[in-house]
Structure 1
Amino acid sequence: SFHCIEQPEVKKAINMLRPGYTPPSKFTLAGRLLNEVFQEEKIKCSEKLSGEFVCRSIDGWSNIHNESVVCATVTVDGGTVYLYDNIDISGHPHASEYLTALASDTIKSCEQEFKHHVTSFLTDDAANMAKMRKALEEIENIK
């Protein structure tokens, strides 16, 4: 949470460590700075993943605001996991058809953006995910 940067004790600790330094506001941290760091990390990931054979995975849950979220990751040989995307699926059905389209889109966009090869796809064993995996097997350009 970015609002902690404006707490008096945090400001006091920062001042003790570096007198005279003014930390960025929570809006700057959550906005411009976060976006800059995200873009830098995305470039690094793209460079590391280019040409690699990877495992894609997705998992869903509800966040603290009870909004439905799907997290998509990429795992390379050796076990290093990269976060690819967090997708807000609020208002969408959690049916296998929707999840199949979502998984297919993330596989295609990930292969295009990072220029790597998806060799496997991992999910949990929920019924909708199992049905989605079966449907993914039938999509010709995913095989």
Structure 2
Amino acid sequence: MSSAVSKLNLDLDQIVQWCKANNLVLNSSKSKLMLFGPDKLSVRICLKQMLLLLPVRPTQRLPASQPVLVEDLAQNIPTVQAPRPTPAQQSMNEFVHSMRPLGPRRAEKIDEQLIKMVAKGHHPFSLVEEQEFKTFVSMLCPGYSLPTRKTLSESLLPKMYKREMDKAKAKVEAGQAICLTTDGWMSDNNESFIAVTAHYIGADTKLESTMLGCVEYAERHTAANLAQFLKDITREWNFENKITAVASDNAANITAAIKAADWAPNTVLRSHIKFLRSKCTGRNGRETTARVKQIVEYFKRSSQALAKLKEIQKQLDVPLLKLKQDDSLELHL
């Protein structure tokens, strides 16, 4: 009983809010009754109540044996057409539905999408505090309450990061053999970074790639420090005994670091790479490489030739590819 009373009070409160939003006032002295229910049932009950309130004319007589039909008596009721609501006026059903708070699951999904938008679009956390963005979200979903900037950065984002990190670790741990690629570079602000990526065959027999980390590295780039860094990151992801190959540039420090890590080599792959290297570094290989460099340099120097190349690629309906100079990689096994 108490729950029914609470729901009824909530409905009455929403009706009052709808009336205020549409500049309407409820006059209790003129209100005879209030009906809740389907439209057809409400109309029939309303007709019966109106018949009881109508004055009986002296000349009107009905046979006692003849049943009184509500439809017959309703013909004597003067019809009053209610004024049509203006386009700006919101119906009560729409108003109550729009003011209804979202369920927890629906609100959680919107929170997740908001986090993805902020992270992938590199938007600031202060976006949720901008008034125009609040108005935009309110127009799309009035029942959704935007999280605060603090909730976004200290609660929602760490939860999603942990969930996605657990998924990535599970995928990498499922790989039977893993190849690493790593590289280091200096930013425009003179900050040193190192990135490590794992490549493996996934559960659906497709090649998968997962970035293990792209971190600012302030230590000296010695072979011992780099070897320890690679060991720490593979130990964190729990696959240090599954590494079969490591690809990097031919810098002396990273080459020595990979050898110092003492990962198990793959002799078959090593021999195949040596065979390809001997073919590419032979006389014919050096001539082919020199010709390719000349072609790339020609298109790099001439903007008209580059524009003609792009035009031909469009005519042939092939992807627009960019020419690159020789970027040698050395595979350490």
Q: TM-score, normalised by structure 1?
A: 0.71
Which stretches in structure 1 are left out of the alignment for 5+ residues?
A: none
| 2:231 aligned with 1:104 | yes
Which stretches in structure 2 are left out of the alignment for 5+ residues?
A: 1-123, 265-333
Larger Rg belongs to: 2
8 Å CA contact 1:100, 1:133 repeated in 2 = no
C-alpha change, 1:96 and 1:27, in structure 2 (3 Å) is farther
Aligned to 1:59: 183
Aligned to 1:120: 245
Q: How many corresponding residue pairs?
A: 136
More helix by share: 2
The residue identity in structure 2 corresponding to 1:21 is Y
Rounded Cα–Cα distance in structure 1 between residues aligned with 2:167 and 2:222:
34
Deviation at 1:36, TM superposition (A): 1.0
Between 65-74 and 21-30, the greater mean CA deviation after superposition: 65-74
C-alpha change, 1:31 and 1:105, in structure 2 (3 Å) is same
8 Å CA contact 2:195, 2:215 repeated in 1 = yes
8 Å CA contact 1:51, 1:117 repeated in 2 = no
Rounded Cα–Cα distance in structure 2 between residues aligned with 1:12 and 1:95:
54
Q: Kindly report which structure 2 residues correspond to 1:1-143, keeping only aligned pairs within 5 A, or say none.
A: 1-52=124-175, 53-61=177-185, 67-77=191-201, 78-90=206-218, 92-110=219-237, 112=238, 117-123=242-248, 125=249, 127=251, 130-140=252-262, 142-143=263-264
| Runs of 4+ with deviation above 6 angstroms | none
8 Å CA contact 1:55, 1:121 repeated in 2 = yes
More strand by share: 1
% identical equivalent positions: 25
Rounded Cα–Cα distance in structure 2 between residues aligned with 1:135 and 1:115:
15
Rounded Cα–Cα distance in structure 1 between residues aligned with 2:208 and 2:223:
28
Tell me how large the CA RMSD over aligned residues is: 2.9
